Amino acid sequence: MLQRDRLFALLGNAEITQELEITDKQRHQFGEVAQEMQKKIEPLMKEAQKGGNPQEIGPKIRKIRKEQEDRIEALLSDSQKKKWKEMLGKPLDLED
């Protein structure tokens, strides 16, 4: 689950935020990033619902998610980043 949700798991998982010792300030900043992402993705989702081309919309959504994920990671301290990488473990290789 953590590898799938990546840093967005920090937005709604109390156990993870507690283990990483996420501050109230960081939690607030994460929320702001999530709201901004939602504002960017919402028009793309509406376009998809109206029959938009998934081959065009999907990459745009993934790009926005990656940008926001990078912004969330930048809000973590070095020790939080290290602990987060340990929590994620070895990346899953779905090709095996």
Residue 51 Rama label (left phi>0; alpha psi -120 to 50; beta): left
Half-sphere exposure (Cβ direction) of 40: Cα atoms closer than 13 Å: 15
What's the pLDDT tens digit per position in 44-87?
A: 999 988 988 889 999 999 899 889 888 988 999 999 999 888 88
Q: Which residue has the tokens 């109206």?
A: 50
Question: Cα dihedral angle (60, 6, 26, 67), rounded to 10 degrees?
Answer: -20
Q: Is the pTM of this model over 0.95?
A: no
What's the pLDDT tens digit per position in 2-51?
A: 555 666 677 767 788 888 899 999 989 988 998 998 899 999 999 988 98
